[in-house]
């Protein structure tokens, strides 16, 4: 019974050499096409893996940058805390210095107040001394003025007596002169005297009136002079009295002013303490305000920088989200295509593997039969009586059998090699698909089928570029 040899569902036992060559070329073309598809999927896998590595590197860089920024924020906060502690320490030193300065100012103020009180007492004593001196001078001036008044009165009396005496003497002299003239001329000018008596009388009266007027004018001048002196003395006395009254009022005003200043100092002592306390509070608020303003400026700069970084990270996140969506869509498309290709390849490779295994099993059986037949033939050839013919026939038969065996072994070897290569391509494709599933986070259970794997260990290994080579 002749066994059938099926390759890819085709019986090769009835094929001619040309048909076998054509069939081998077709198988070779399919092998090249599958190799190109495998290389294409491997390149796509490498691209996706490279893109994934780049995206993961960028994500790690962004994460490291965020951690770095968080660390910088923590360092900035620690620096701010240290600065706050330093400022609080400086505030304590300033408060101590302020208290020391306030105590010094208070001591200086008390010293100045004591000095001012001593100066005031000294000035008061000097004013009292000046007052006593002015009173003494006033008494002396009054005594001198009284003496001058007495002297002026005596001088005035003497001058009045002298003037009266002189005028009386002049009058007497004039009367004597006129009497003598009258006596001398009485006889000579008795007629003329009578005629001119009236004129003489008039002139005499006029002269007397003039003398009286002159005397009255001189007396009025003297009276006015002494009245002016008296008025001047009275005005001087009144001015001195006014000065004394002004000094007395000034002394009383100074005493009242001193009392008012003492009371005002007592009244201003509590407001001074309150003002000093308010000054301390205002200085403290000013320091807090300066510190808060500096902190606010730093926070504004930091906020602007963080907002800028946040905006940049938001843009990068949006770009990454868009790219992620695109990659997810591409992954879904690749997944669908890959599932279709895997199912198709599994069907083809499964069918080819089954056919190749059947063909190998059939060829092994035929090889065993041929070996058995060859053995029987060799045994029959050995039974020949002519040793030369037996020898020649044996060599010829042996050579022919060896040629046939070599051809069969070569065919078996090629088929085994082809089976190992296709199995290796199938396993590589499954490994690539599983790595893609692992990269995209898809579990194997979601495939819905169990991939077919070859568990038999072949005597072929993978060479460069994933090619199957024979072990040497």
**pLDDT number for residue 398:** 66
Distance of alpha carbon 358 from alpha carbon 175, whole angstroms: 208
Whole-angstrom distance, CA of residue 443 vs CA of residue 440 = 9
Nearest residue to 331 (alpha-carbon basis) of 49, 59, 35: 49
Question: What's residue 1's pLDDT?
Answer: 41
CA distance 177 to 279: 106
**Does the CA dihedral 299-300-306-307 come out positive or negative?**
positive
* In contact, 363 and 412? CB cutoff 8 Å: yes
Task: Identify how many contiguous H helices and E strands the chain contains and give both numbers.
Answer: 3, 4
Do 98 and 283 contact (CB within 8 A), yes or no? yes
Q: How far is 281 from 275, CA to CA, in rounded Å?
A: 10
Q: Are 349 and 422 in contact (CB under 8 A)?
A: yes
* Tens digit of pLDDT at every position of the chain (472 positions): 444 555 555 666 777 788 888 888 888 888 898 889 888 888 888 888 888 888 888 888 888 888 888 888 888 888 888 888 888 888 788 878 878 888 888 888 788 888 888 888 888 888 888 888 888 888 888 888 888 888 888 888 888 888 888 878 887 887 787 777 667 666 776 676 567 667 757 777 777 777 778 777 777 777 777 777 778 777 777 787 888 788 778 778 778 877 777 777 777 777 777 777 877 888 787 777 777 778 788 888 887 887 888 787 888 878 788 877 887 787 778 777 777 776 777 777 777 777 877 877 887 787 777 777 766 666 665 555 445 445 555 566 667 767 777 887 788 888 888 888 888 888 888 788 778 777 777 776 666 556 666 544 444 444 444 444 444 3
CA max distance for the chain: 257
Output phi, psi for 461, to 5 deg.
-125, 165
d(CA 307, CA 108): 56
* Statement: the pTM of the whole predicted model exceeds 0.95: no
pLDDT of residue 465: 40
322 dihedral zone (left: phi>0; alpha: psi -120 to 50; beta): alpha
What's the CA gap between 153 and 157, in Å, rounded?
6
Is the CB of residue 320 less than 8 Å from the CB of residue 55? yes
Contact 364, 398 (CB under 8 A): no
116-146 burial: b if 16+ Cβ within 10 Å, else e: eeeeeeeeeeeeeeeeeeeeeeeeeeeeeee
10 bridge partner residues: 7
Q: With CA atoms as reference, report the closest residue to 291 among 8, 28, 91.
A: 91
Check residue 69 and give its pLDDT: 84
CA distance linking residue 274 with residue 268, whole number of Å: 10
26 closest CA partner among 50, 8, 42: 8
CA distance 423 to 462: 11
pLDDT recorded at residue 447:
61
Q: How many CB atoms lie within 10 A of CB 363?
A: 19
Q: How far apart are the C-alpha atoms of 472 and 465, rounded to whole Å?
A: 18
Output DSSP code: residue 8: T
Question: Do 251 and 131 meet the contact criterion of CB atoms below 8 Å apart?
Answer: yes
> Looking at residue 470, what is its pLDDT?
45
DSSP label of 4 = P
pLDDT for 463 equals 44
Query: What's 460's DSSP letter?
Result: E
Q: What residues are paired with 461 via a beta bridge?
A: 469
Q: How crowded is residue 196: how many other Cβ atoms within 10 Å of its Cβ?
A: 13
CA distance 375 to 428: 43
At 98, list the tokens: 């302020």
């Amino acid at each position: 019974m002749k066994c059938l040899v099926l390759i890819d569902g085709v019986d090769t036992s009835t094929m001619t050499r040309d048909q076998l060559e054509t069939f081998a070329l077709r198988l070779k073309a399919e092998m090249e096409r599958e190799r190109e598809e495998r290389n294409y999927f491997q390149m796509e896998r490498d691209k996706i893996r490279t893109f994934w590595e780049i995206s993961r590197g960028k994500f790690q860089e962004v994460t490291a940058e965020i951690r770095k920024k968080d660390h910088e924020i923590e360092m900035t906060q620690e620096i701010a805390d240290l600065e706050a502690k330093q400022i609080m320490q400086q505030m304590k030193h300033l408060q101590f210095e302020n208290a020391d300065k306030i105590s010094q100012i208070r001591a200086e103020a008390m010293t100045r107040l004591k000095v001012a009180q001593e100066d005031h007492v000294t000035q008061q004593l000097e004013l009292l001394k000046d007052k006593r001196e002015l009173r003494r001078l006033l008494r002396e001036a009054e005594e001198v003025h009284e003496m001058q008044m007495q002297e002026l009165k005596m001088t005035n009396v003497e001058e009045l007596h002298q003037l009266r005496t002189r005028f009386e003497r002049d009058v007497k002299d004039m009367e004597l002169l006129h009497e003598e003239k009258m006596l001398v001329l009485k006889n000579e000018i008795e007629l003329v005297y009578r005629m001119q008596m009236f004129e003489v009388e008039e002139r005499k009266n006029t002269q007397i009136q003039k003398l009286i007027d002159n005397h009255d004018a001189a007396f009025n001048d003297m009276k006015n002079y002494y009245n002016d002196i008296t008025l001047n003395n009275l005005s001087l006395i009144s001015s001195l009295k006014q000065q004394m009254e002004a000094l007395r009022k000034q002394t009383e005003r100074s005493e009242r002013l001193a009392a008012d200043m003492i009371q005002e100092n007592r009244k201003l002592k509590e407001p001074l303490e309150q003002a000093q306390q308010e000054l301390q509070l205002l200085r403290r608020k000013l320091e807090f305000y300066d510190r808060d303003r500096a902190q606010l400026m730093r926070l504004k700069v930091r906020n602007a920088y963080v907002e800028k970084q946040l905006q940049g990270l938001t843009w990068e996140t949006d770009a990454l989200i868009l790219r992620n969506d695109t990659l997810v869509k591409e992954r879904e498309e690749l997944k669908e295509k890959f599932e279709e290709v895997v199912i198709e390849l599994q069907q083809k490779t499964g069918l080819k593997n089954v056919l190749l295994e059947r063909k190998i099993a059939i060829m092994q059986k035929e090889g065993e039969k041929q070996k058995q037949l060859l053995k029987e033939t060799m045994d029959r050839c050995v039974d020949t009586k002519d040793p030369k013919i037996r020898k020649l026939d044996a060599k010829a038969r042996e050579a022919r059998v060896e040629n046939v065996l070599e051809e069969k072994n070569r065919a078996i070897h090629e088929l085994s090699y082809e089976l190992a290569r296709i199995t290796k391509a199938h396993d590589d494709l499954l490994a690539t698909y599983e790595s893609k599933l692992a990269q995209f986070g898809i579990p194997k259970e979601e495939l819905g089928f169990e991939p077919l794997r070859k568990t038999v260990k072949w005597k072929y290994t993978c060479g460069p570029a994933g090619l199957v080579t024979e072990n040497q």
